[in-house]
Each structure stands twice: as C-alpha cells, then as structure tokens.
Structure 1
C-alpha cells in the first residue's frame, strides 16, 4: 500500500479519483492507513488502469505534458518493424521527444554494457521517484516484449533515495537495484541490442489489453535465484518448504543456496516469509476460509503463531485485516 500511496501522491489524484480507482480494483480505502498492507498484482493493475481513465494520461500526470491514452499503442507500432532492439531503442528516443518535454531517453554503449538512462532537461523540476521507476519499468517491459523474453539486467540505478518499500524492488526488476545514483538508468548486456524483434501488429492488442501487467509483472525467463526459490516454495507449502529441500530441487548445495541468496540481498527465510505473507493477504481478502485453516495451509503450527507472524508483517491481526480490506464475495 505504500507503493499505492506514492502513486496517488505523484499523480496528484483527487480524493474522488483515488476512491474510484480503489473501488475499481476492489481495494478498501481503509487500507491506505496501513503502509504495510498488501494488494495483489491484479488489483494494482486494475487500479492503474482506472487512474489512466480518470486522469486521461497513461503516465498519470507525472510529467508536464500528458501522455494521452493511445501513446503506448503508437509507440509500439513505431518500434516493432525495426530490424533489431538497438534500432528500436533509437526510435524510442526520437518518439519520446515528440511526446514530452521533461527528460530525454539516452542510450549509450560502453565496455559491453548498454545504459538506457532518463536524463532530465535543464530547468525542469525533478520527476517524482515513482515516475522514474515506472518509466524504466515501461522501457524494460516493452523491450522485453519486443524480443520475446524478459531481458536480464546487469543493474538498475535510481536517482532518488531508497523508499520505505525498497525491498519490493526485487520483485520488479531482474537485476540488482541501487538508489541515490546520479541518473535513473537500466543496464543490460550490449549484445541484446542486436537481438531481432519478434512481435507483429497482430500481437499488439493482447499486450495492450494486459497493460500494465504486460510490462510490470510478467515472469522473467532469466530469473534470479530468489525468484526460483519463491517459485519452488509456492508449490511446496506447507510440506517440503525447507532450505534443504529447496536446495536439492534446484540442484544446489545448501551452502551455495544461502551464499547466492545473500549475494542477492535476501535469505531463504525472508523469501518464505514474504511468500506466506502475500498468500495470507490473498486468502484473507478473496475467500471466507477460516483464519486458522489459512495459517495451517501456510505451514504454521498454531493459530497463535500465525497471528504473531501476520501482525509482524502488516501491523494488524488477520481478523482486523480481513475486516478492513474484505472484498471477497458473500
């Protein structure tokens, strides 16, 4: 919910706009008071689409000129007949100059790396942090769609300090994220610039229909180990959800598993807790399943231990969370 709050603040959405978007997404407005509350990817996407309709801007008034609905469609149409990704990115730099005045898209190659950076124009006020975040996410998502796989990133830089929800960025980018840098930019192996494009105009309607899921939340083919562990755990809760079992399934030694997760800035227990937290939120808001049964399904040995963990994750008990954010059908 902290991410949703940042979205509302950066867009300048009125109370009525925010309320309408929350209703469209099936999210209780009461949850805005709880930054640690969770929304699903589907709910966030529905909320984003509702804001686009209300604000008549595909980038939610983040910039001085709106990107009217249809901007993404014609951007993709202008790129997809390029002979490779490098040509498509060059075209995008030119296309964006016609659409907005706040920044330019810089594409530079050096020492085998391609940097795609958002360079603010002199005299323009700095963009809100979430504007840089979502613009880079859009660039990465569209480029990945064009070549037919999620592009692995060497790293992502942001020209703003780490927000309170910085740990969530591991789920948004297939590469390490750094804050407090001079420019917001993503880095990928320059060899990808030679990759041919694999999309046609016939593929575009489905991509647009799924926006923003198609460029925000699609699965990564080149996954970090943390994503692979989460995938394993999602099918093995509550039984078999141990580090030893995960290491065997992923053909790693236990020591290697822990070391590589530490290199990615996380741990097995943290991934397990985050997955159980997210599944608990989904079950509490989408079903009438008894709270004790939810805790048991997630591997807790008692209702009390589930209550303690959920309060630690969200600041609320499962019952209070269900009461404030309940949107499940009767």
Structure 2
C-alpha cells in the first residue's frame, strides 16, 4: 500500500517547533534530498522516506529524539532504553504503566496518564503545573510515538475509537487523518488516544532481537505503519493502491469491500471524506513519489495514474500542489532509479 505523503505545512510546523537554526534545517533538507525551495510552498508534499530522513537528520543535529519540543531533551538512546524496559512486561497495560514512570524520569513537562472507564482506555498527555504549553505538533508526535510503539509491541496496529487534540485544527489537519486509524477531533480538553480497554490485556510479542531493526527504521516504524484494520477510508485507499487502473471505480471498490455503492458513499461521508477525494489523494501521493524518486517521464506517470492525456494530469497536479509536474520535479529531489 502506498503510504500517504505529508504536506510542507506539517514539515514547517516541525521545523518551527524545534527552534532549529536555519543552517541545521538546510543541512537536514540536503541530507533528505529535499530542495529548500519546496519549503516555501505549503501545498508541496514530502514522501514517507523524505520525512523520516528529515527527522533523523534533525535528531542528530539537535541531539534530541523529540527535537527540543520539551523543556528537557530526550537524548538519542532514550527510545531504545524505554523499549528495552517494556519488552518483558506481561501485557500492554503493564508496559504503558512502566512507560509513564520512565517518562517522569526523563522529562518534566507532562505525564502520560492511562485510565479505563466504561470499557474504554484513555492514554492522555496531562501537562504538569507550571510547565510551558507545548507546540501542537509536539503533543501530536508524542501521542503518535505512544501509539506506534504500543502497536509494535503487541504486533498489531491498535485501532482507535478516536484521537483528541487539545489545540485547534491547523491548516494541515488533513495530514492527521492519514496518520491515525481513527477519527480525529480538535479543540478538546486533553490530547489523548482512546481504544478498547481489552487491548490492555494483550501480551507483548516482540523481543530484544527485533528492537534494532525497529529503531533503525524510526520514525517510519511508529509513524507510517500500514493500517490493515481501521476506518473505511483506509480500506478504500488500500484497495485502490492495488487496483487503481483495473478496478478503480466506486462500483468495483464497493464490490471488493462487500458493500453497496450507496453504503460506501454514506460511510465515507460519515468519516468526513469521499471516494473521489481518497482517489485523488492517492494519485497525488503516487505522482509526488514518482516525480521525486523515479526517472519516469511526466507523460508516463500521468498515463499510469489513469489520466487520458498530459494536459489533464498537469491540471490535476497543479490543483493538488499549486505547481506543474515539471516545476515540482525541478524544485524537488533529484530523481533516482
């Protein structure tokens, strides 16, 4: 399944929250193979690999696995030793309790509060008295880390009842819908994840021998893991990823998912999206990937994505990103085989 891209608005929020110097940002962009010119275009997109490379580069330059988002840095190695302390827990509940204790030793800004009520588990970030208010992306990435590591520990992407954020929706709020397997709400009292409490009893299925590979791939392993179970929108995207040209219609997709076309459209509307929007976002992400990571001609990319001619592909891509495919390729990374 093709992973979603992230907007340059999200990337810029990351840079701003980290307080990184311009020289460090420039070096990270160069290391990730992203042109600095793209940063000025909020509608531009970066791939999973590009974002992960940017994040890793900033971690090294800032000497902080959470990019100086909080009052005390989480030095490189903090995630490794946190995971090592969790691996022999008998279930996820014990692992989360240990993690909450570990975080209290590592930083002063917030507590990871785990509670159960009416069959639901809430994993919340509770800011400590007197602690500075974190940047929105700091809370979002910390919760993403908790969700990603917890999912890795139990060997299953944890389905979420909902995700709450204690900040208003940013301009790039659409990106969050791709990162979480559950509905996202903004402007809530606390930033928190909600899941069925039965998951707390799940035994951990990972070993110390598997940890190095998980850490080597960070942040992909905890940020971009595929959602095989989750919202209908994610199932639709997964189907279209494999059948974009052959079975890319709403009718064929509904049949593949054992739904009527009417039910497909209704349920997608309830999730705040539509079939055409999912299809366009997938084609946009595939186009960005192919323009920045392959040497395919623009005409060939447009044809592969189902456009009748180059002009229609150019019009669609400009609508998605504000730029033509040629200009985007010129400002982006060098194409690779």
Under TM normalisation by the shorter chain, which class is it? over 0.9
How many positions carry a matched residue from both structures?
330
CA–CA separation in structure 1 for the residues paired with 2:149 and 2:247: 37
CA–CA separation in structure 2 for the residues paired with 1:111 and 1:195: 18
Aligned position for 1:125: 132
Aligned position for 1:217: 224
Shift in Å, 1:318: 1.1
Aligned position for 1:235: 242
Aligned position for 2:204: 197
Shift in Å, 1:8: 0.4
Aligned position for 1:313: 320
Q: Report if the CA contact (8 A) 2:292-2:336 is conserved.
A: no
CA–CA separation in structure 2 for the residues paired with 1:287 and 1:90: 45
Structure 2, unmatched stretches of 5+, are 1-7
CA–CA separation in structure 1 for the residues paired with 2:228 and 2:293: 29
Shift in Å, 1:326: 3.7
Q: Report if the CA contact (8 A) 1:157-1:178 is conserved.
A: yes
Q: Report if the CA contact (8 A) 1:239-1:299 is conserved.
A: no
RMSD across aligned positions (CA): 1.1
Do residues 248 (structure 1) and 255 (structure 2) align? yes
45, 52, 63: which is aligned to 1:56?
A: 63
Report 1:270-285 matches (<5 A).
Answer: 270-285=277-292
Shift in Å, 1:132: 0.3
Aligned position for 1:18: 25
Q: Report if the CA contact (8 A) 2:229-2:235 is conserved.
A: no
CA–CA separation in structure 2 for the residues paired with 1:329 and 1:222: 32
Deviation track 1:27-75 (CA, whole Å, cap 9, x = no partner) reads 1110001011111101101110111000000000000100000000110
Shift in Å, 1:236: 1.9
Aligned position for 2:332: 325
Report 1:49-128 matches (<5 A).
Answer: 49-128=56-135
Q: Report if the CA contact (8 A) 1:234-1:275 is conserved.
A: yes
**3-state secondary structure, aligned to 2:243:** coil
**3-state secondary structure, aligned to 1:116:** strand
Shift in Å, 1:230: 1.0
Structure 1, unmatched stretches of 5+, are none
Provide TM-score, normalisation by structure 1. 0.98
**3-state secondary structure, aligned to 2:97:** helix
30, 35, 38: which is aligned to 2:42?
A: 35
Q: Report if the CA contact (8 A) 2:228-2:235 is conserved.
A: no
